[in-house]
Amino acid sequence: MYRYDAYDQTLVDERVNQFRDQMDRYLAGKLGEEEFRPVRLQNGLYIQRHAPMLRIAIPYGMLSSEQLRALAAITRRYDRGYGHFTTRQNLQLNWPALEDVPEILADLAKVQMHAIQTSGNCIRNTTSDQFAGIAKDEVVDPRPWCELIRQWSTLHPEFAYLPRKFKIAVTGATDDRAAIHVHDIGLRLWLDDAGELRVRVLAGGGMGRTPMIGEVVRDDLPWQHLLTYLEAIVRVYNQFGRRDNKFKARIKILVKALGIEEFTRRVEAEWAHLKDGSQTLNEAAVEAARVHFPEPARRPVDDAAIAEYEQLRQDNRAFARFVTNNVMDHKVPGYKAVTLSLKRREAAPGDITADQMDAVAELAERYGFGELRVTHEQNLVLSDVPVDEIETLWQQLDALGMANPTVGTLNDIICCPGGDFCSLANAVSIPIAQAIQERFEDLDYLYDLGPIDLNISGCMNACGHHHVGNIGILGVDKKGEEYYQISLGGNADDDVSLGKILGPSFYREDVPGVIDKVLQVYVEKRLDDERFLDTYRRVGHQAFKERVYA
Ligand code: HEM
Ligand code: SF4
């Protein structure tokens, strides 16, 4: 995993000192509220419903055991002993005291972490595939490229005040697990017939008030030009993106207004000045990033061990359930990636306690070369577990409440903090997730339903990705009362689609019943092993609508 060099460390340390000074001046009344606001946002610090909220960057979702332990210590010392993983692979603290934040940032800097650019109108944390480097369907490892983008974008002098926040996602696999179609820029790394790395560049995707699917700007960009091309896109956005209206400020609105041809023409014209300039990548630059992601020293796992693991699956039903849902194939025979579920009814989706963090850090050392990944579905992944250790790991996870064998099912809900924490919310979202998890907890039923993404946001900002949920739930406000709008047919994968609203919204207590009716239609209409999404696409919206509003 990437380790800071002297430049990175100096930059982060200096930033901590600068912010400490700014905080001192704010607390002493020398900096006003309006002056302090942009400063705190540049350091990931929001003011929320009950308390400040600090968003900590986890570059492309990768965490070391040491970092997770430090996070555990921080949440114990400065917060309420837990943190919340988000759909952007960040960690949010919901209860820090304002005056403690410089100390928290100093503690983070000791383990090469920070909160820089986790908010504000700049290029945010780059997200990627949680199975990067190990997935069987991977064509190109995205991590070195994400790291190059991180270095390019962090405190980029020209892009500190973009019209709006800016998010990039990268995938190098056949199956997109990074939602590249609904990011401001989505990048797909692929190999041409000659084995040369190319980049498909999408722009103008995004969720929120006006959800849009990104369009292709360049299909076959040679890798040498990745950074100069990104720079050209962000320059065009910086120059022509709207600044007069916050709701029309995202790049998706610009792409839509200009049309993809004209947008591309402007990008290409800008690129003409940048192409082959100093930011052009060469083998040495890429290699310098690549060395930080070596293959771990995996011990060989022999065929007998693999056979024994398969036998165990046959003999133990509970273990088999866990393996089927939470264990993912690995490019190296004898190894698997294991998803640790952060979906328990007792806690908000994505929440993790300090004790769990410590325990997971230890598990990662024992079973995963001291490394973990955060998924955009708000779970954690151990990416390198030998099959002969999976059963022991499973038992340990079970004791920690992290072995819920429901990854990818209806119960693996993505959910934003909603009205319980977020001051922008129209309605609560965590209690909706819990009510649904409670209603649909029967494992046999969940497995019979197969893969379904259910995503919940407390307002139209769409932090919970409701637009791309097969079933999406959105909190809406009607004359001061909380209601929920349901949409169907959204999907974040390559065959991307935005959900379509079912009809008038519902009372909170009716939501699980409505979901039940939607599922009934699916179960009645599906053919053989057809997924929910495919049945929906085949039979159409009306069949669901009729049942729900009958
Ligand atoms: C409680 C603090 C939070 C605040 C104040 C906040 C604020 C916002 C705002 C204002 C937007 C809309 C931006 C726009 O449309 O231009 C947004 C979108 C978004 N937020 Fe949050 N958010 C919070 C928490 C979260 C959490 C917990 C997650 C993940 C679970 C998250 C992930 C996202 C994502 C994925 C989007 C939409 C994506 C996009 O269009 O790129 N945010 N947030
Ligand atoms: S979707 Fe709305 S309610 Fe939920 S976290 Fe985002 S801004 Fe807050």
User: What pLDDT does residue 483 have?
Assistant: 98
Please state the φ and ψ torsions of residue 335, each to the nearest 5 degrees. -120, 155
Please report which confidence band the pLDDT of residue 346 belongs to, taking 50, 70 and 90 as the band edges.
confident
What pairs with residue 478 in β-bridges?
481
- Gap between the Cα atoms of 197 and 203, Å rounded: 20
Please report which confidence band the pLDDT of residue 49 belongs to, taking 50, 70 and 90 as the band edges.
confident
- Gap between the Cα atoms of 101 and 119, Å rounded: 15
- Gap between the Cα atoms of 512 and 499, Å rounded: 18
Ligand nearest to the CA of 48: 1
Tell me: pLDDT of 88 over 90: no
Tell me: pLDDT of 87 over 90: no
Contact 491, 532 (CB under 8 A): no
DSSP letter for each residue of 74-89: HHHHHSSSEEEE-TTS
**Percent of residues in the chain assigned helix, strand, coil, to nearest 5:** 45, 20, 40
Q: Which residues contact 219 (CB under 8 A, 6 or more apart)?
A: 198, 200, 201
State whether the beta carbon of 459 lies less than 6 angstroms from ligand 2.
yes
Q: Please name the residue whose Cα sits nearest to atom 2 of ligand 2.
A: 459
Give the position of tokens 């990944």: 373
Q: What percent of the chain has pLDDT over 90?
A: 96
Tens digit of pLDDT for each residue in 59-71? 999 999 999 999 9
Q: Which two structure tokens, joined as six digits, stand for 301?
A: 């796992």
Please give the number of the atom of ligand 1 that sits closest to the Cα of 205: 40
Q: How many Å lie between the centroid of ligand 2 and the Cα of residue 105?
A: 24
User: What pLDDT does residue 413 have?
Assistant: 97
State whether the beta carbon of 142 lies less than 6 angstroms from ligand 2.
no
Tell me: pLDDT of 276 over 90: yes
State whether the beta carbon of 354 lies less than 6 angstroms from ligand 2.
no
Tell me: pLDDT of 372 over 90: yes
Pocket probe for ligand 2: among 413, 459, 460, the residue whose CB has the most ligand atoms within 8 Å is 459
User: What pLDDT does residue 50 have?
Assistant: 77
State whether the beta carbon of 422 lies less than 6 angstroms from ligand 2.
yes
> Which is higher by pLDDT, 376 or 237?
237
Contact 56, 44 (CB under 8 A): yes
Please report which confidence band the pLDDT of residue 195 belongs to, taking 50, 70 and 90 as the band edges.
very high
State whether the beta carbon of 267 lies less than 6 angstroms from ligand 1.
no
User: How many residues would you count in the chain?
Assistant: 550
**Cα dist from 115 to 28, 59, 77, 109, 330, whole Å:** 23, 10, 18, 10, 32
Tell me: pLDDT of 204 over 80: yes
State whether the beta carbon of 209 lies less than 6 angstroms from ligand 1.
yes
Tell me: pLDDT of 51 over 90: no
Please report which confidence band the pLDDT of residue 197 belongs to, taking 50, 70 and 90 as the band edges.
very high
Q: How many Å lie between the centroid of ligand 2 and the Cα of residue 464?
A: 7
> Is 14 in a helix, a strand, or coil?
helix
**Cα dist from 203 to 183, 186, 295, 321, whole Å:** 7, 6, 32, 39
Tens digit of pLDDT for each residue in 490-549? 999 999 999 999 999 999 999 999 999 999 999 999 999 999 999 999 999 999 999 999
Please report which confidence band the pLDDT of residue 89 belongs to, taking 50, 70 and 90 as the band edges.
confident
Tell me: pLDDT of 131 over 90: yes
Average pLDDT score, the chain:
96
Q: Please name the residue whose Cα sits nearest to atom 12 of ligand 1.
A: 461
DSSP letter for each residue of 196-220: -EEEEEEE--B-TTS-B--EEEEEE
Tell me: pLDDT of 305 over 90: yes
Q: Please name the residue whose Cα sits nearest to atom 6 of ligand 1.
A: 463
Please report which confidence band the pLDDT of residue 220 belongs to, taking 50, 70 and 90 as the band edges.
very high
Give the position of tokens 């579905």: 377
Tell me: pLDDT of 325 over 80: yes
- Gap between the Cα atoms of 101 and 56, Å rounded: 11
Q: Which two structure tokens, joined as six digits, stand for 123?
A: 């290029």
Tens digit of pLDDT for each residue in 23-38? 999 999 999 999 999 9
Region 269-284: mean pLDDT is 98
pTM over 0.85: yes
State whether the beta carbon of 386 lies less than 6 angstroms from ligand 2.
no
Contact 250, 164 (CB under 8 A): yes
Local structure of residue 549 (DSSP, 8 states): T
User: What pLDDT does residue 520 have?
Assistant: 98
Q: How many Å lie between the centroid of ligand 2 and the Cα of residue 421?
A: 9
Nearest residue to 494 (alpha-carbon basis) of 190, 251, 231, 70: 190
CB atoms < 10 A from the CB of 60, how many? Answer: 27
Which amino acid would we find at residue 393? L
State whether the beta carbon of 463 lies less than 6 angstroms from ligand 2.
yes
Please report which confidence band the pLDDT of residue 47 belongs to, taking 50, 70 and 90 as the band edges.
confident
User: What pLDDT does residue 345 have?
Assistant: 86
Phi-psi region of 85 (alpha: psi -120 to 50; beta: other; left: phi over 0): beta
Q: How many Å lie between the centroid of ligand 2 and the Cα of residue 509?
A: 20
Tell me: pLDDT of 4 over 90: yes
> Is 101 in a helix, a strand, or coil?
helix
